[in-house]
Amino acid sequence: MKIADLAVLRETGECSMATIRDVAKLANVSIATVSRVINQNGYVNGETKKKVNNAIELLKYKPNSIAKGLASGKTKTMALILPDISNPFFSELARAVEDSASSQGYTVFLCNTDSDTNKEKDYIRKMKDRFVDGILFAGHTLQEPEIKTLEEEKIPLVVLDRAPGEDICLVVRSNNREGAKLAVRHLLEIGCNKIAHIYGPQEVATARERLLGFEEAVKEFSWYTPSLLEQGDFTIKGGMDAVGLLLKRHPDVDGIFTGNDLMALGALKKLKQLKIKVPDQISLIGFDGIELTEITEPEITTIAQPIYQIGSLATSLLIKKIEGSLLLHKSHEIDVELVVRGSTKGNSKVIS
Amino acid sequence: MKIADLAVLRETGECSMATIRDVAKLANVSIATVSRVINQNGYVNGETKKKVNNAIELLKYKPNSIAKGLASGKTKTMALILPDISNPFFSELARAVEDSASSQGYTVFLCNTDSDTNKEKDYIRKMKDRFVDGILFAGHTLQEPEIKTLEEEKIPLVVLDRAPGEDICLVVRSNNREGAKLAVRHLLEIGCNKIAHIYGPQEVATARERLLGFEEAVKEFSWYTPSLLEQGDFTIKGGMDAVGLLLKRHPDVDGIFTGNDLMALGALKKLKQLKIKVPDQISLIGFDGIELTEITEPEITTIAQPIYQIGSLATSLLIKKIEGSLLLHKSHEIDVELVVRGSTKGNSKVIS
DNA sequence: GTGAAAGCGCTAACAG
DNA sequence: CTGTTAGCGCTTTCAC
């Protein structure tokens, strides 16, 4: 066999990628057998398997994933569709998704939508055209029709942060409402007497839920009035602007809960510019738990979502769905956690 | 033809994706012709073209990108290999790359290497296995052998931030050395008398170049001593630690230039903790121009690279290389720019 | 200008 | 347990 081996090796040229046929020839078996040992399905005799593996090694054979995709319909790819990768929340998430996906043999396509419905649709179409095995969708404007279509086409989908009640697809989301209450409770405990909320865009489910939680937590108090609410847009600049407006109406607030961390960052910056001491004069708490909350001085107290775990979980669920080992559409609600840091500690009214 | 059309429509089922064959049948031409009109190559009669386009429309035909990839060897995908997408610098870059790529019909695979040589090699292999049309590589530990191999295999490659002199591949990078000098010059102009540099990991080309630039700019001064250099690791925490060590040795520095913005962020935080006023007591300047330099109070002066443009440019160059309209390997050196902000303004010695 | 036909490299029945 | 064979959907010579 040795001479034959070399002959084959010479024939294949060794330069241009070896194919399954080359392996079959060298191992003296059919390509079907080679396919079997590669994919570990079907029965293959131990001896034969060894021969094949040898040949594979010799030829440095790598299955062609494109051909495999064409023949099998599975591409081992997934789409990660999100508003903007340069937003720290989503980049942390993306990191988790990619880690998890790649460790399970999947490769991920990156798609930025800017939360623009047209771009979202576009990317969904593009990704379908690329025959991704599944889609991980983070955003909020995905419309029901699109979801239904995907379901009908049997394209596995996992959605992050979608509103509750819309259980037509698999959703992973945090307990936003409870988180907001946690935030308010914390501010109350450290002695705040007048708490404001800077809420996010109301098209965004998470923003709605956090606002709802806030309202539920404060409505019983006599100091509460709707003008303690101020709209923000989930950006740093938005947080700065909102704080400015808010303080004009209510110079005496002593606690601010922002709908996300980016706005908390902006709020903190604005407060510093206004020479208002945090937390001495105003306590500040955000929501999300992005790493940036730790870079400021003081660091920002926040309701932390386990962003990395959420990404990992969503990815694993998606893969399970792809591989057929997940049939239910149960939504996953993740618990959030209060992380106390400098922006709310040491409040003058703490020691009561 | 109408009846026939409908018959065909019914035959294809309309549900499962139409193929090029269906289009050919409906338009009464061969699949070769359909392929020609789709890809706009070869001569096709105007009439015929119209018929074909009609059929395509009717059947809502979409070329199967996988089959196309297998047959043509081009996948219209590219790999974006970078250390860590959750690093703001790279997420800004990734955003640019994806924007540019998708607008030119390419889809991008995301790969995080943590600057780990093994992961880098792994991903390069994976991406080759997926037959990406090209690779955009941001990192520093890519070894010559790998580059050579890619060149030999004719896989277009664009590298970001690689050291100069290694012009065996297409490189896009900033003028780090000049930038460092710019930083020092600025600190001198505002009156600093003792300037320290917190440099990044020396495996990283950019860190080396910036250190070099710094040394060149300060070596002529009598106050300069190598102990004004402190090693950092390009992270926020690294910046904090480095400042601590530095100030123990030289409590009297009045200017600090950090090798990147993340470390400047850390430095600023540490200085605040130490109750050292920025810029009154110490002026601080970073390098990169990431958006986060604007969220602190004071905002951080920095040597800004046009991150978005770098990403766009690199992507466009890669695509040109892929599509054969770029033959030279000329490296691109991008100019950086001094962006003066609060962390260096108002220095007490300015008004001289 | 257009069509026929031979693949691209692999999977998946279906025989044996 | 293994081989044969028919595709997956498209590109691409090479004739007509």
A99 and B112 within 8 Å at the Cβ level: the answer is yes
- Give B39 CA → C4 C1' in Å: 20
**Structure tokens that stand for A38 in this block:** 């590669």
End-to-end CA distance of chain B: 89
Question: Do A266 and B295 lie within an 8 Å CB cutoff?
Answer: yes
| Mean pLDDT comparison of A52-56, A136-140, A316-320, highest-scoring range | A316-320
Tell me which residue of A85, A74, A350, A230 sits closest to B112, measured CA to CA. Answer: A85
Q: What integer pLDDT is reported at residue A248 of this predicted model?
A: 97
Interface residue of B66, B99, B154, B235 to substitute, partner A, most A CBs within 10 Å: B66
Write the DSSP assignment of A65-96 as a string of letters: HHHHHHHHS--SEEEEEES-TTSHHHHHHHHH
**Tokens standing for residue B77:** 């995908």
Residues 6+ positions from A247 with CB-CB distance below 8 Å: A253, A274, A276
Check CB contact under 8 Å for B94 and A108.
no
Q: Which of B299, B292, B108, B311 is nearest to A87 (CA)?
A: B292
Q: What is the mean pLDDT of residues A63-69?
A: 95
Q: Which of residues 223-262 of B touch A (CB under 8 A)?
A: 236
3-state secondary structure of A231: strand
pLDDT value of position A15: 53
Q: Closest to B95 (Cβ–Cβ): which among A63, A80, A112?
A: A112
Judge whether A69 is closer than 8 Å to chain B, CB to CB. yes
Nearest Cβ partner for B110 among A94, A126, A273: A94
Highest mean pLDDT among A44-58, A217-231, B32-46, B332-346: A217-231
Coil, helix or strand at residue A276 = coil
Strands (E), chain A: 77-82, 107-112, 134-138, 157-160, 170-174, 195-199, 229-231, 255-258, 283-288, 301-304, 332-334, 337-339
Residue of B nearest to A297 (CA): B269
Give the pair of three-digit tokens for residue B107. 């889809």
Name which of B119, B40, B33 is nearest B84 in CA terms: B119
Closest A-chain CA to B131 = A66
Task: Give the side-chain half-sphere CA count within 13 A for B12.
Answer: 24
Query: What DSSP element (H or E) covers A238?
Result: helix A236-249
Cβ–Cβ of A70/B67 closer than 8 Å? yes
Please tell me whether any atom of strand D lies within 7 Å of the Cβ of A64: no
Length of chain B as a residue count: 352
Mapped onto helix, strand or coil, the DSSP state of residue A156 is: coil
Of the given ranges (A111-125, A243-257, B323-337), which has the lowest mean pLDDT?
A: B323-337
Does B104 lie at the interface with A, CB-CB under 8 angstroms?
no
What does the pLDDT read at residue B3? 40
Substitution target in A15, A61, A85, A120 with the highest count of B β-carbons within 10 Å is: A85
In this prediction, residue A7 carries a pLDDT of 47
Nucleotide nearest to B64 (CA to C1'): D9
| B88, B112, B297 member nearest A95 (Cβ) | B112
B70 → closest Cβ in A66, A126, A297: A66
Burial of A116-147, coded b for 16+ CB within 10 Å and e otherwise, reads eeebbbebbebbbebbbbbbbbbbbbbeeebb
Sheet holding B229-231, edge to edge: B229-231, B195-199, B255-258, B283-288, B301-304, B337-339
Calculate the angstrom distance between C1' of C12 and CA of A43.
14
What residues of A are in contact with residue B269 (Cβ under 8 Å)? 295-297
- From CA A297, how far away is CA B273, in angstroms rounded? 8
Residue A291 to residue B86, Cβ atoms within 8 A: yes
pLDDT of A12 reads 41
6-25 of chain B touching strand D, CB 7 A cut-off: 17, 19-21
Contact B110 A111 (CB under 8 A): no
Chain B residues with beta carbon closer than 8 angstroms to that of A294: 236
Asked if B211 contacts B177 with a C-beta cutoff of 8 angstroms, the reply is: no
Q: Which residues of B touch A272 (CB under 8 A)?
A: 297
Dihedral angle computed from the Cα positions of residues A112, B140, B234 and A101, in that order, rounded to the nearest 10 degrees? 40
Q: Is the CB of B274 under 7 A from strand D?
A: no
Could you read off the pLDDT of B231-269 as tens digits, one per residue? 999 999 999 999 999 999 999 999 999 999 999 999 999
B-chain CB neighbours of A236 within 8 Å are 294-295
Indicate the residue of B77, B85, B269 with minimum beta-carbon distance to A85: B85
User: Which chain B residues contact residue A136 at CB under 8 A?
Assistant: none
- Within residues 14-53 of protein chain A, the ones with CB less than 7 A from nucleic strand D are 28-33, 36, 42-45, 47-49
B126–chain A Cβ distance below 8 A for any pair: yes
Distance from CA of A70 to the nearest CA of B (A): 6
B273 touches chain A (CB under 8 A): yes
Q: What's the CA gap between B31 and A180, in Å, rounded?
A: 60
CA B27 to C1' C1, whole Å:
15
Contact A228, A258 (CB under 8 A): no
| Angle formed by the axes of helices A31-39 and A46-59, nearest 10° | 90
- Is A72 within 8 Å of chain B by CB? no
Which two structure tokens, joined as six digits, stand for A323?
A: 């591989």
Task: Return residues with beta carbons within 7 A of strand C.
Answer: A 17, 19-21, 31-32, 35, 38-39, 41, 61-64, 67-68, 70-72; B 28-33, 36, 42-45, 47-49, 67, 70-71
In angstroms, rounded to a whole number, what is the distance separating the alpha carbons of residues A298 and A54? 61
Stretches in chain B below the pLDDT threshold 70 = 1-16, 163-167, 346-352
Share of chain A above pLDDT 90, in %: 76
How many angstroms separate the CA atoms of A211 and A44, rounded?
60
**Mutation for testing the B interface, residue in A81, A93, A107, A124 having most B CBs under 10 Å:** A107
The radius of gyration computed from the CA coordinates of chain A, to the nearest angstrom, equals 27
CB contact under 8 Å between B66 and A109, yes or no, is no
